[in-house]
Amino acid sequence: MKKLQLIFVLIVLVIVACTETRTEKNHTEKTRKQKWVEDLSYFEYEYLTESKTFPEDSISSCKKVLADLKTGLDTLTDNQIIVQLSRCVAMANNGHTTIHLSWMDKIPLRFYWFKDGLYIIKTDSSSSNYLGAKILKINSIAIEDVQKKLSPYLSGIDNWKKYTATNYLSSPEILNGIGLTERDSMKITLVIGKDTLEVPFGTKEMENSKYEYETWSDLYPDSTEMGWRHMLGTNENLPLYLKHMKDGVFYKFLDAEKIAYFSINALWYRCPDFEDKIKTFIDELKTKTAYTVVFDLRYYTGGNYLIPLKLATKPPKIIDDDKKIYLITSRMTFSAGLVTAARIKHFAENKIVVVGEEVGDHLKFWAEGDYYKLPNSEIEIQDSESKHDWQDNTFEIGTTFWINAFYGVGAKDLHVDEPIRLSFRDYTDRKDPILEWIISDVE
């Protein structure tokens, strides 16, 4: 009996000790404010100190924003803090140094900037009656002004910012962070048919929500995306730029027009035989030297620029001297897409004609690097550590991306010779005004 009593006492003591330990642990758990102070300190004393991309005056501006955040933590929402950190990172003035905000909650609409405005091209099933509507305002603010207010919080040049903003404009969490909407809803003023409506939308988690570098692929009516309705309805009778968009890499010889068309977009990693496609394309081009070449890089937002090296160097030597190389670019031609475009222009020399829109970055930029993660919020900052110069091909040992010593070129510029932008009507009519212009120019 005494042994049983002793065991019972020991069990009680263990329970009490555990309870006290848990209570003590709860008392020492970090508060929200303490966590954010730690994150802001990490940003300032580790990330900002180690990053190579910030000009000196930008570092001073960053530190002022961080100081204001620390003193205002009790009155700021998490959304406000996050977008202010994004604003700080954007001060590096480099598109590759950024905080990706795609994970923040969105309403179930997807937009695209066309020549004539911002339109709804994809919705969930319950909002499908708004497909094709043109967006005029968000919370009574003209959409152009919303874009301007959002711009300082996004990384890169204006062209690139307008593209990435297309994804962010559907996020109340982001717009709430700059004081424009509620945390989980927004009102959109839109025109559909002859009607102008103001419609409230709440956030909704949807499958297959895209990373901002790939949101151009919302243009494609993908029937495999569950829960979505698309402006085009089906993927039948699509123009070439859309037809094989999901494949990432595609080529076709248009024999009637004597055009060799090769397209690369940011889904290139889905193509298991990227290099083989380039080889077979070049091999066939050798049998069709009287063909004009068209390289479509309008949705090539990045990847590995080493794979398509031969696309730049081989075709100019293969095709007849009187034939041209047309290069299609847009504000989404970025990173490895921009590098590939620069190399194509350099090697094509006087054969080149650039068509479409100005590219999404300067020819001198920073890239290649790593991610920093804030210790408590776990927000990731993409930071860059290597220089690129595709304008003059300068090389700085220890700073320039080392591979450029072998493959770097000075393209001087990528200015567009024939500016053409896709209109909403072109899109819904399944036309490609860029390729149509090229075909007429070749004729």
Residues 293 and 416 in one domain: yes
Tell me the three state secondary structure of residue 303. coil
Identify residue 31 by its one-letter amino acid code: T
Residues 36 and 148 in one domain: no
Measured distance CA(245)–CA(331) in Å, rounded: 17
135 and 123 in contact (C-beta within 8 Å)?
Answer: no
308 and 338 in contact (C-beta within 8 Å)?
Answer: no
Per-residue confidence band for 212, with pLDDT thresholds at 50, 70 and 90? confident
The token pair that represents 254 in the structure block? 């248009």
Tell me the three state secondary structure of residue 260. strand
The token pair that represents 414 in the structure block? 């990528």
Residues 113 and 177 in one domain: yes
| Across 224-250, average pLDDT | 94
The token pair that represents 343 in the structure block? 């190399």
CATH of the domain at 177: 2.30.42.10
Residue pointed to by tokens 């006290």: 20
Angle at 408 between CA 326 and CA 250, to 5 degrees: 40
Say whether pLDDT at 9 is over 50.
no
Residues 139 and 288 in one domain: no
Share of the chain above pLDDT 90, in %: 89
Residue 301 is assigned to a structural domain of this protein = yes
Q: Using the 3D structure, point to which of 209, 230, 251 is the last residue of a domain.
A: 230
Residue 379 is assigned to a structural domain of this protein = no
CA nearest to 155, candidates 391, 384, 328, 402: 384
Cβ-based burial of 266 (10 A; exposed 0-12, middle 13-18, buried ≥19): buried
Residues 279 and 314 in one domain: yes
Per-residue confidence band for 25, with pLDDT thresholds at 50, 70 and 90? very low
Residue 325 neighbours by CB under 8 Å, 6+ apart:
292, 293, 294, 295, 315, 316, 319, 344, 348, 351, 352, 353
Number of domains observed in the structure of the chain: 3
Residues 252 and 212 in one domain: no
Residues 303 and 429 in one domain: yes
Residues 283 and 416 in one domain: yes
143 and 135 in contact (C-beta within 8 Å)?
Answer: yes
User: What is the overall mean pLDDT for the chain?
Assistant: 93
Share of the chain above pLDDT 70, in %: 94
113 and 418 in contact (C-beta within 8 Å)?
Answer: no
For the chain, the helix, strand and coil percentages under 3-state DSSP, each to the nearest 5: 40, 20, 40
| Across 271-280, average pLDDT | 96
Residues 244 and 337 in one domain: yes
Among the residue ranges 129-138, 196-205, 227-236, the one predicted with the least confidence is: 227-236
Say whether pLDDT at 375 is over 50.
yes
- pLDDT, tens digit (0-9, with 9 covering 90-100), for 318-354: 999 999 999 999 999 999 999 999 999 999 999 999 9
Instruction: Give the residue numbers spanning the domain of 326.
Output: 240-363+411-442
Q: Which residues pair with 109 in a beta bridge?
A: 123
Say whether pLDDT at 116 is over 80.
yes
pLDDT the model gives residue 209: 78
What one-character-per-residue DSSP string does 45-105 give? IIIHHH-S---HHHHHHHHHHHHHHHHTTTT--HHHHHHHHHHHHHTT--TTSB---TTS-
Q: Using the 3D structure, point to which of 230, 258, 286 is the last residue of a domain.
A: 230
pLDDT the model gives residue 18: 52
Pick the more confident residue, 27 or 313: 313
Measured distance CA(87)–CA(154) in Å, rounded: 7
Per-residue confidence band for 5, with pLDDT thresholds at 50, 70 and 90? low
Per-residue confidence band for 276, with pLDDT thresholds at 50, 70 and 90? very high
Residue 393 is assigned to a structural domain of this protein = no
Count of positions (residues) in the chain? 443
Residues 261 and 358 in one domain: yes
Pick the more confident residue, 12 or 249: 249
Residue 303 is assigned to a structural domain of this protein = yes
Measured distance CA(154)–CA(174) in Å, rounded: 11
Question: Which runs of E-coded beta strand occur in 215-304?
Answer: 228-230, 249-254, 259-264, 292-296
Residue 8 is assigned to a structural domain of this protein = no
Say whether pLDDT at 24 is over 60.
no
Measured distance CA(315)–CA(274) in Å, rounded: 17
Distances in whole angstroms, Cα of residue 193 to Cα of each of 132, 134, 170: 9, 9, 22
CA nearest to 287, candidates 313, 240, 255: 255
* Type and span of the H or E element at 389: strand 380-389
Pick the more confident residue, 28 or 86: 86
Say whether pLDDT at 171 is over 60.
yes
pLDDT the model gives residue 443: 85
The whole-model pTM stands at: 0.92
Residues 244 and 190 in one domain: no
Pick the more confident residue, 4 or 199: 199
Measured distance CA(171)–CA(201) in Å, rounded: 10
pLDDT the model gives residue 435: 98
Pick the more confident residue, 188 or 20: 188
pLDDT the model gives residue 224: 86
Residue 371 is assigned to a structural domain of this protein = no
| Across 131-158, average pLDDT | 97
State the number of CA atoms in the 13 A half-sphere of 16 facing the CB.
Answer: 6
pLDDT the model gives residue 178: 96
11 and 3 in contact (C-beta within 8 Å)?
Answer: no
